[in-house]
């Protein structure tokens, strides 16, 4: 039974293996056009269901920060048209979707209350799109579902032993997906910090941001049950990266590329 499952997974992996911007191997089963269309559709629905902020000053501020970051993306992403909006929502959140769509909640503007901290947030979300994390997560889920269906077919008539085996496989599969998602979050942090440094935003403020987020999330679920790394782990990882990105920030400032984004 498991021989067929292994062969199925191996075939898909060979056909769809890709490498992320930081050199991580990942499985991508969907085309770029498919992902873009899904992102555009989801974004349109959000704009219909949530209030979009129309304050010109707020929009100009968020778009100023975003545009500075976008200048340092690869040409295929930098060259596309990006739509940036602010949504009236008290939760400290932001997102970026394939197809060039970015949204920031008003609650995040209250938390990330400096241009550099906002750059850390938006840079992180852009990092997810840059590294095709949405595609990878959807591919991982699709592969897991197909694998379970294949095992169910091969297993034939249900018996207590077979049901137990299927249950164990399902639990293990969920564990892989959760771990994979945390890996994406860490990679998006790394890409976001690099982007903000290249754009002239002080990358050390990413640490300040996550320290604030840690204070806000006291009592949240442990890291091993979450799709996000704990704030403590995140802060430690970003701090270790500062020595590599601070020269990029200093070069941007010395070259006169200090961003002039004011709220």
Q: Is 155 helix (H, G, I), strand (E, B) or coil?
A: helix
What are 155-208's pLDDT values in tens digits? 555 656 555 554 554 555 555 555 557 888 899 999 999 999 999 999 999 999
Longest dimension (CA), the chain: 70
Q: Catalytic: which of 48, 76, 125, 232?
A: 125
Whether 257 is in a domain gets the answer: no
- Domain of 141, in residue numbers: 2-184
Catalytic, 125? Answer: yes
| 195 found inside a domain | no
**Which one has a higher pLDDT value, 223 or 124?**
124
Residue 243 clears pLDDT 60, i.e. is over it: yes
Residue 149 lies in a domain: yes
Q: Is residue 55 part of a domain?
A: yes
209 assigned to some structural domain: no
Residue 232 pLDDT grade (very low, low, confident, very high; cuts 50, 70, 90): confident
Question: pTM, whole model, 2 decimals?
Answer: 0.82
- Is residue 224 a part of any domain in this protein? no
Looking at the structure of the chain, the number of domains it has is 1
Query: Is 117 inside any structural domain?
Result: yes
Q: Is the predicted pLDDT of residue 4 greater than 70, yes or no?
A: no
Sign of the CA dihedral 125, 127, 130, 132?
negative
Whether residue 53 is contained in a domain is answered as yes
Structural element, H or E, at residue 32: helix 32-49
| Six-digit token string for 96 | 């970026």
Pairing of strands 101-105, 83-87: parallel
Read off φ and ψ for residue 3, nearest 5 degrees. -65, -40
Contact of 230 with 182, CB cutoff 8 Å: no
The answer for residues whose C-beta is within 8 angstroms of residue 102's C-beta and 6 or more apart is 66, 82, 83, 84, 85, 94, 95, 96, 122, 125, 126
Enter the tokens of residue 77: 């992403």
Question: How confident is the model at residue 58, as a pLDDT?
Answer: 98
The closest alpha carbon to 141, from 21, 23, 30, belongs to 30
């Amino acid at each position: 039974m498991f021989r067929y499952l292994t062969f199925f997974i191996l075939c898909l992996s060979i056909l769809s293996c890709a490498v992320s911007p930081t050199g991580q191997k990942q499985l991508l089963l969907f085309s770029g056009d498919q992902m873009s269309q899904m992102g555009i559709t989801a974004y349109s629905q959000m704009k219909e269901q949530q209030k979009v902020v129309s304050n010109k000053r707020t929009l100009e501020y968020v778009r100023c920060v975003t545009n500075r970051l976008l200048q340092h993306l690869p040409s295929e992403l930098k060259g596309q048209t990006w739509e940036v909006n602010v949504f009236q929502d008290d939760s400290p959140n932001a997102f970026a979707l394939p197809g060039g769509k970015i949204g920031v909640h008003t609650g995040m503007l209250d938390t990330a209350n400096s241009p550099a901290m906002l750059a850390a947030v938006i840079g992180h979300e852009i990092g997810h799109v840059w590294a095709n994390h949405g595609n990878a997560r959807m591919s991982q889920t699709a592969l897991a579902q197909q694998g379970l269906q294949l095992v169910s077919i091969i297993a034939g008539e249900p018996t207590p032993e077979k049901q137990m085996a299927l249950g164990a496989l399902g639990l293990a599969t969920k564990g892989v997906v959760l771990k994979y998602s945390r890996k994406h979050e860490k990679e998006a942090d790394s890409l976001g910090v690099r982007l903000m440094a290249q754009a002239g935003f002080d990358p050390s403020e990413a640490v300040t941001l996550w320290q604030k987020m840690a204070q806000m999330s006291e009592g949240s679920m442990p890291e091993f049950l979450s799709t996000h790394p704990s704030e403590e782990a995140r802060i430690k990882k970003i701090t270790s990266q500062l020595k590599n990105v601070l020269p990029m920030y200093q070069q941007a400032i010395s070259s006169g590329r200090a961003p002039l984004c004011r709220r």
